[in-house]
Amino acid sequence: MRNAFTAEWGKLWSLRSPWFCLTAAVLLTAILAWTLANDFVHDIRMGRLPESATLPVLEPLIQAVQVGQLAVVAAAMLMVTSEYGTGAIRSTLLARPRRGDVLLAKTAVAVVVGFGAGLVCAAAGWQSAALALGSHAVPGEPVADTLRLAVVVAVACGFTTAVGFLLRSGVGTLTTMVVLLLGLQMISQRIGVYLPAQAAVRFAGGDGVRHLLVLTGWTVAAWFAARLLLIRRDA
């Protein structure tokens, strides 16, 4: 199993696209966090909000990470869909006949990379938003907040890996993850709390670990479905 993890880790960083995706994620998160925070400050300057108005840094940061994580998710997706697109998955499965190990190794690498990237994105976004808000910022708990966001991104990357094996298509996988992680926020809260998008936002906002369990439940279900299909069908 260790060899499988090492092999997948090496394959990931041998490509340029993951580096591009992760760099884009950090920049996108920082820029969007600054923009959202600056809009709040602009409203104060224009007299739409009182001079004493404040905003928790976490509020624009969550929205920024939601968008920025899509670039990290794309990197996780490429671990699977790029191999299906080029046919390299056949070599991978021949080298590692136990297909469950391949799925587990790719998922583990995606989760580790997702946590690290999420942590950097959250830290960069936090600094950017706090800088834009200035004296109007409510700091909150930066360490705990960034760690929660990193966990959300890590689970999202594991989820993406499973969906990649299920769909075997880059376009299909990315579209599905955009809907699940972003689009489903528009659904009513009564139903939305049981869906990945709202569960991720609520956990990131500090609204209880139960929301993380919802997001993790979706990921585990997708993972076992992917494992079943991977074992039963041809590469």
Condensed to tens digits (0 to 9), the pLDDT of residues 125-138 reads 999 999 999 999 98
pLDDT at 161: 96
The answer to whether residues 33 and 126 touch, using CB atoms and an 8 Å cutoff, is yes
pLDDT attached to residue 89? 83
Which residues does residue 55 pair with via DSSP β-bridges, in sequence order? 137
> Is the pLDDT score of 14 beyond 90?
no
Rounded-to-integer distance, Cα 116 and Cα 109, Å: 11
Residue 16 has pLDDT above 90, yes or no: no
Kindly report the pTM of this predicted structure.
0.93
- Is it the case that residue 20 has pLDDT exceeding 70? yes
Q: According to the model, what pLDDT value does residue 121 have? A: 96
Domain total of the chain: 1
Look up residue 96 and give its amino acid.
R
Q: Which of 138-142, 162-166, 198-202 has the lowest mean pLDDT?
A: 138-142
Confidence of residue 190 (pLDDT cuts 50, 70, 90): confident
Bridge partners of 138, per DSSP, are: 56
Of residues 154 and 208, more confidence is placed in: 154
Q: Which domain holds residue 188?
A: 2-232
pLDDT of residue 139: 83
Q: Does residue 235 have a pLDDT over 70?
A: no
- Mean pLDDT is highest, among 49-58, 97-106, 153-162, 184-193, for 153-162
Per-residue pLDDT band at 159 (split at 50, 70, 90):
very high
Residue 166 φ then ψ, to 5°: -70, -45
* Rounded Cα distance, 34 and 181, in Å: 22
Give the pLDDT score at 115.
Answer: 97
Split at pLDDT 50, 70, 90, the class of 187 is confident
Examine the pLDDT at 220 and tell me if it is beyond 90: yes
